[in-house]
């Protein structure tokens, strides 16, 4: 539960139809297993105490009476266990029979949630037995000593974790046009559990999976779905135990069907709370709900869920290719519109032979092709300086010519030397003035060529560089339209790779692959033995770490402590804790101190859920203090022991 993670379980015991005593033992065994796994919310299938397929046996007193006895015994088993348990059974009340989820914890029954939507179509005929559940809670007498609330509008709230609120719906409820989980979520529930008995027919598993993922996304919640499996009667239908755990549209765990497989996962309720806070259209409606408190001991939750070390890059090749094509189209369509609006038929772009300028040129070529403009209207300028190597120079020249753009070369060395003399700077003094003087000279050249050609300067800087402030103010920081402004460095590489793989031009592919193989560098310091001497990641740190930090800070609103924990888990075996902390501190310092550069960025198209445009996603004051964030990192450093 540390950092907002709670471990949950969706469990399918092997039931015996109409045998509550036998099913009680099977359920207790699964509860003990879940306790060993340290799950704090354990969800069983619909009517699991009796079995879902009892038919007319549901109308017989012996079954109902023994089911209630089994419920009380199972509840007693939760005493001393740090968990909330959800089991299903039929409950008779006021002359009606209800299909109920019983919520158990601290050795007792905390509440009963009846099924709201009773299916009575196709193979389902629950309407023969069960009455739709009431919304407002009523006090139900389970024994002379025990009265518990029953109603669909119950929220189960952990006393030690105020942000954790759990609500229940049952099977068919989530398949309806207006599932109860909608009002549950608006009332504050951030974890929905579903006790289900969904039978298998061909293709239904895909629909069911999409349904659960979609509901968790729509409601910005965790969703735990436990379904009936092997052991139910197969008189007419078969049950597969298709258990799932989802969080905000992402499937965290899924059981292999037909095995009665338990699944476990950690739901990040802190992340869910952050997403809801920032979504202004998620408007709570708390009326009519009753909160039922329960006790949980707050413990650290060991992570078993997948934490993506590259959150901006899809892991599956097919999805990655689709994403790359989509981003290239968004970038090129954004530039196309700007060129159309300004009546501009000329683009000016500086080409260094590095990744960012390569991607920007590829995007510009696409935009010109979409407009039906000649590629010779793209004035691609290479501007060798003191740090330019033969490799990057050759790649720049070959790329421009292969793409059919207008090639121009302006050697900046002499102009920069004149500038150094004008400002009394010694050329051998390789400091920030030495580096930035070159960057600003290049930008001046591009801007003036744009004036001469009545063209537009296309910016090349990517989002990772903007987040770190790794750009020369009014140098490469400035352009007339920045096509890469919301593309992180880890994704730039994949976009260029995708273009290389799909361009159908062997020579162009060869050039692009060599660009990909070249170390990232601004090339502002003289090379050593003809090789790049200034590698960006040696100075500011690995971009894969910075992109990870950036994603979790801006997308989820996490603090350094949680980001560090996730990074240590995601990059285990690649980066030590000390290294992660070192670069996390660099990231925070630079992110805060360099906001003034982002506050005056040129326009550029948003391509993903994270962006740093001052007109879009990031409205951050340029003078915000980083003390709060850095103090948390320093606390981690002081307590770090290996």
Of 117, 171, 324, 344, the active-site residue reads 171
User: Do 454 and 339 contact (CB within 8 A), yes or no?
Assistant: no
CB 120 within 8 A of CB 177: no
Q: Which of 183, 28, 197, 214 is nearest to 104 (CA)?
A: 28
> What does the DSSP assignment read for 286-303?
-TT-EEEEE-----PPPP
Integer CA distances (angstroms), 579 to 134, 394, 466, 541, 569, in order: 56, 35, 22, 9, 13
Q: Determine the Cα–Cα distance for residues 229 and 239; give it in Å rounded to an integer.
A: 5
Q: What is the largest CA-CA distance in the chain?
A: 101
Q: Are 583 and 636 in contact (CB under 8 A)?
A: no
Is residue 46 flagged as an active site residue? yes
Q: Is 600 a catalytic residue?
A: no
Q: Which of 7, 115, 489, 606 is catalytic?
A: 115
End-to-end CA distance of the chain: 23
SS (HEC) of 15-37: CCCCCHHHHHHHHHHHHHHHHHC
Neighbours of 561 (CB within 10 A): 16
CB 121 within 8 A of CB 129: no
Q: Give the CA count within 13 Å in the CB-facing half-sphere of 124.
A: 16
The CA distance from 505 to 503, in Å, is 5
Which of these is catalytic: 24, 35, 46, 172? 46
Angle between helices 506-516 and 355-371 (to 10 degrees): 150
319 as an active site residue: the answer is no
Give the catalytic positions in this structure.
46, 115, 171
């Amino acid at each position: 539960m540390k950092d907002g993670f709670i471990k949950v379980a969706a469990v399918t015991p092997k039931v015996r139809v109409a045998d509550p005593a036998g099913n009680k033992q099977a359920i207790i065994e699964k509860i003990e297993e879940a306790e060993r796994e340290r799950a704090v919310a354990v969800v069983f299938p619909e009517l699991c105490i009796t079995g879902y397929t009892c038919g007319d046996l549901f109308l017989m007193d012996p079954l109902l009476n023994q089911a209630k006895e089994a419920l009380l015994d199972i509840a007693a088993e939760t005493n001393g266990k740090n968990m909330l348990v959800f089991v299903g059974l039929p409950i008779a009340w006021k002359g009606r029979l209800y299909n109920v989820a019983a919520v158990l914890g601290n050795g007792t029954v905390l509440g009963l949630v009846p099924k709201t939507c009773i299916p009575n179509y196709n193979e389902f005929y629950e309407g023969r037995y069960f009455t739709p559940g009431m919304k407002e809670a009523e006090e139900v007498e389970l024994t002379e000593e025990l009265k518990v609330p029953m109603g669909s509008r119950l929220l189960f709230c952990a006393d030690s974790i105020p942000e954790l609120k759990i609500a229940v719906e049952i099977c068919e409820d989530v398949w309806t046009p207006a599932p109860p989980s909608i009002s549950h979520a608006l009332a504050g529930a951030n974890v929905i559990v579903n006790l289900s008995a969904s039978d298998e027919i061909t293709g239904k598993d895909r629909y069911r999976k999409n349904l659960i993922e979609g509901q968790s996304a729509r409601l910005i919640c965790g969703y735990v779905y436990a379904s009936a499996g092997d052991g139910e009667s197969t008189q007419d239908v078969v049950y597969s135990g298709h258990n799932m755990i989802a969080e905000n549209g992402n499937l965290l765990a899924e059981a292999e069907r037909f095995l009665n497989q338990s699944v476990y996962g950690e739901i990040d309720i802190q992340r869910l709370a952050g997403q809801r806070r920032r979504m202004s259209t998620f408007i709570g409606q708390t009326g009519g709900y009753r909160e039922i408190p329960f006790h949980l001991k707050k413990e650290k939750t060991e992570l078993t869920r997948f934490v993506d070390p590259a959150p901006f890059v899809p892991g599956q090749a097919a999805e990655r290719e689709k994403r790359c094509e989509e981003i290239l189209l968004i970038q090129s369509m954004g530039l196309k519109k700007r060129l159309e609006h300004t009546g501009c038929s000329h683009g000016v772009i500086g080409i260094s032979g590095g990744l960012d300028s390569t991607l920007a040129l590829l995007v510009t070529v696409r935009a010109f092709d979409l407009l039906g403009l000649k590629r010779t209207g793209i004035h691609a300028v290479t501007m060798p300086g003191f740090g330019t190597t033969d490799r990057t120079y050759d790649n720049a020249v070959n790329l421009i010519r292969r793409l059919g753009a207008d090639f121009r070369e302006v050697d900046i060395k002499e102009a920069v030397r004149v500038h150094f003399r004008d400002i009394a700077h010694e050329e051998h003094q390789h400091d920030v003035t030495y580096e930035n003087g070159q960057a600003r000279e290049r930008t001046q050249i591009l801007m003036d060529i744009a004036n001469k050609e009545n063209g537009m300067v296309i910016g090349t800087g990517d989002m990772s560089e903007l987040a770190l402030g790794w750009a020369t103010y009014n140098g490469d920081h400035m352009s007339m339209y920045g096509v890469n402004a919301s593309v992180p460095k880890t994704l730039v590489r994949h976009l260029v790779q995708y273009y290389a793989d799909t361009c159908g031009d062997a020579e162009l592919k060869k050039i692009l692959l060599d660009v990909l193989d070249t170390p990232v560098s601004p090339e502002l310091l003289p090379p050593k033995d003809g090789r790049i001497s200034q590698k960006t990641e040696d100075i500011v740190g690995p971009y894969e770490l910075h992109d990870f930090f950036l994603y979790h800070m801006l997308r989820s609103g996490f603090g350094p402590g949680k980001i560090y924990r996730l990074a240590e888990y995601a990059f285990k075996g690649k980066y030590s804790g000390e290294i992660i902390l070192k670069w996390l501190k660099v990231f925070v310092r630079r992110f805060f101190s360099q906001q003034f550069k982002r506050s005056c960025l040129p326009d550029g198209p948003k391509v993903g859920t994270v962006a740093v445009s001052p007109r879009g996603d990031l409205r951050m004051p340029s003078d915000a203090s980083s003390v709060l964030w850095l103090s948390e990192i320093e606390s981690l450093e002081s307590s770090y022991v290996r």
